Chain A
Amino acid sequence: MNQDQFLTWVRGPGLNIALGVFVLGLLWRLFEIYTLGRKPDLAAPRRRPGASGLRTMFTRSIPAQTLFKRSALSYVAGYVFHIGLAVIVLLFAQHIRLIRSVVGLSWPALPAPVIDATTVVTLATMVLILVDRINKPVKRFISTFQDYAVWTVTFLPVLTGYMANRHFLLPYTVMLALHILSAELLLACMPFTKLIHAFTLWGSRWYNGDANAKKGVPV
C-alpha cells in the first residue's frame, strides 16, 4: 500500500470503523452504567435552597481551596490543556470543515497562527502533566498502564497534527494519514477507558449534588 492509498483508507474505511466503534462503545457503556442504578434513598429529603444536582455540575468546575493548594499544577495544567484541546479541535478551519462534512454545522475559525500557538502550549502542558505524574511519588504509585496509555493516545493526535501542519519529519501525505489514524485510535479507545469521563462526568456530578442535596448540603 503506498502512502496515497494509506491516506485514502484512513479518510474512508478507517474513519467509518473508528466512528462505528466509538458510537457502539459509548452507547453500550452509558447504557450499562445508567441501568445499574443506585440503591433507593429511603430517608426523607432535607431540602436547602440552592442545593441541587444541577448546581453541582457547575460548582465542581471550581476546585476546593485546600485541594487546590495541595496540587495546583494538576488543576491549572488540567484546565489549560483541556481548553487547548477544545480550541484546536473546534476552532481550527480544517477541523471545522470536517465537522461540517459530517454533521452539516459550521462556524468561524480562529487564525492559523493562534491555533499554532495554542497547540504548542497544549503540547507543553501535557508533557508537564506527564512529568508531574512520574515525579510525584503518590501519583506514580497509583498510576496504572491505562493512565500512561490514555495520555499517549491523547497526545499523539495533537503532536501528529502539529507536525503535519508544519511539514515536519515525514512527507505530508504520511504525516496527515498518521494524524487521522491517531485521532481514530483516540475515538475507538474513548468509550472503553477513563476517557469516557467526557460524557459521564455530568451524570456523576449531578448524582453527587443530588445525593448531598437530599441530606441538606449544597455542594
Chain B
Amino acid sequence: MSLHNIPIKSESVEPYSIGNPRALLTEIAARLEKLAKEGVASSMDLNSLPFAPGEYDQLRVLLGDGEVNARIDAMGASEVMETRYPGVWWVTHYNVEGDIIADSIEITEIPEILKSQPADIEGGLALLQAQIHGLDA
C-alpha cells in the first residue's frame, strides 16, 4: 500500500461539558461590573483553559456577536470582535501560518491593539511628509 492510499479515519468525540462556560460567564460579569463602576479594564486568557470538546464553541454562542467586528493584518491576522455585551471583546491573534498565538476576552472600552501606536504614528508622519515632498517635486 503506497503512502497516499493509507486511509485516514478521524473520529470525533461527543461534546460534553465540565462547567467552563458557566464559570467563565460569571467571571466576565464580575469584571464587567468592575469596568462599569470603577473603569478598571482587564483580560482573560482563553488559551490556557482546559476546555472540554465543544465548550469553546458553546462559549462563542453564549457571548454572541455585537456591533463591532474588526480585522487587523499585522504579521498575521487578528480578529477583534465585540460580543453582544458591550465592553466584552473577544480578541484572537494569529501568526502568518494561521496558528492562534493568543486568544483572550478583554473587558475594556476598546482593546489596546485597535489603537494606533505612538511609534507607528510618528513613523507614518515621516512617511506622509516624504510623500507630500515627493508630490511637490
Task: Let me know if chains A and B touch directly in the complex, using CB atoms closer than 8 Å.
Answer: no
